[in-house]
Structure 1
Amino acid sequence: MILVVGLGNIGEEYKNTRHNVGFMLIDLILKDQDFTSLVNSKFQGELFKIGSSLLLLKPSTYMNNSGISVKAVKDFYKCERLIVIHDDIDINLGALRFKKGGSSGGHNGLKSIDSLCGNDYERVRIGVGKTENVISHVLGKFKDEEKIVLDKILEHSKKALFELIEKDLSSVSSLYSLRA
């Protein structure tokens, strides 16, 4: 079983913020896939199943506690592969990168996952850029001109994610990484 986690924060005030690009990508994937919703309160998130071996998770624990939801689903389904989609302030808006393992880079969602599940998982890093006030930036909504770039990178990320699921990190990195 493969578990793909899109990171974000629940609630209307966080909808369409830079920190929620993981949720946005999961939502985009679900638009044109047949899926089953899996409901279990101990998962603390929205869980969807596509086919026989792909789970998509949007944790409802807020970013800083994402690992609680991820661990519950990963342990219950005995997932052998974990892929996490998240915003990355060290990458320009419109860029996409891939990584396996390594540090959280200060990302609280990744810190939470690392502390409960270890850090040996694949990452789909969607660039959101940064400003001097990082917290306001990641919790801020995309400007109109940024939404155009965001829509393109999310579509590109969707294709890249399915390629990653089918192949391996090195082949996808060379084909799908975008630098902006």
Structure 2
Amino acid sequence: MKYLIAGLGNIGPEYALTRHNVGFMIADRLAAQEGFGFTFERLAYTAQWKFKGRTVHIIKPTTYMNLSGKSVAYYLNAYGIPKENLLVLVDELQLPYGTLRIKPRGSDGGHNGLKSLQESLGGADYARLRFGIGNDFPKGRQVDYVLGTFSNDEMMDLPGHLDRAGDLIRSFCFAGLQQTMNNFNR
């Protein structure tokens, strides 16, 4: 069985620790824990990980957030992975900081990365791990907020939240979507 895990974010050091890059952060934390690394290939940094008899491909698109769908669609096709074995890692303004929710489908909710995926994949029927970044920003300052760094208090808690996201990914690849939803969506 093959899986594709797509961490969404923006490339470049100026975006490295921003809220919008939490998808990249989750992928990087999983790589550090499991001992694999990323290499630059077409449209993404890619890695392959063997987990309990499954082959898991992890990508961090280099197309920037607004064109993430191009990279994800390319790798789904290149690796011959069905959409039901795709998990997208994305930041979510509508969830309190550190909250994890896995969903089998849904709207883009105004998120440009998900909008790009929906266009490239021909619909919104793919699983996504929504990582809550909160929405503590003044009206009209959403872009500054998502492209801003986590607060000091949030940074202290971030490793634990990233570890839990890694546990969710392992569950998705081994136990499946429904069991993972049952275990993590509390």
Query: Do they superpose with TM above 0.5?
Result: yes
Shift of residue 177, structure 1, vs aligned partner: 2.7
Q: Which runs of 4+ in 1 moved over 4 A?
A: 36-39
Task: Tell me whether 1:101 sits opposite 2:109 in the alignment.
Answer: no
Task: Tell me whether 1:142 sits opposite 2:150 in the alignment.
Answer: yes
Task: Tell me whether 1:74 sits opposite 2:69 in the alignment.
Answer: no
The one-letter code sitting in structure 2 at the alignment partner of 1:62 is Y
Long gaps (5+) in structure 1: none
Shift of residue 169, structure 1, vs aligned partner: 2.2
Deviations 1:46-94 (CA, angstroms, capped at 9, x unpaired): 0101126210000001000001111111111111221100000000002
What SS is found at the alignment partner of 2:114? helix
Instruction: Give the distance between the partners of 1:121 and 1:89, measured in 2 at CA.
Output: 19
Partner residue, 1:10:
11
Long gaps (5+) in structure 2: none
Instruction: Give the distance between the partners of 2:24 and 2:37, measured in 1 at CA.
Output: 17
Task: Tell me whether 1:92 sits opposite 2:129 in the alignment.
Answer: no
What SS is found at the alignment partner of 1:94? coil
1:28-47 paired onto structure 2 within 5 Å: 28-35=29-36, 37=38, 40-41=41-42, 44-47=43-46
Instruction: Give the distance between the partners of 2:171 and 2:63, measured in 1 at CA.
Output: 28
Asked whether the 8 Å contact 1:36–1:50 carries over to 2, the reply is no
Identity of aligned residues (%): 35
Shift of residue 148, structure 1, vs aligned partner: 1.9
Q: TM-score with structure 1 length normalisation? A: 0.92
Shift of residue 119, structure 1, vs aligned partner: 1.5
Give the number of aligned pairs: 176
Shift of residue 160, structure 1, vs aligned partner: 1.3
Task: Tell me whether 1:155 sits opposite 2:154 in the alignment.
Answer: no
What SS is found at the alignment partner of 2:108? coil
Instruction: Give the distance between the partners of 2:35 and 2:49, measured in 1 at CA.
Output: 6
Asked whether the 8 Å contact 2:48–2:58 carries over to 1, the reply is yes
- RMSD over aligned Cα atoms: 1.5
Deviations 1:122-162 (CA, angstroms, capped at 9, x unpaired): 11110001123211110000111111222221111111110
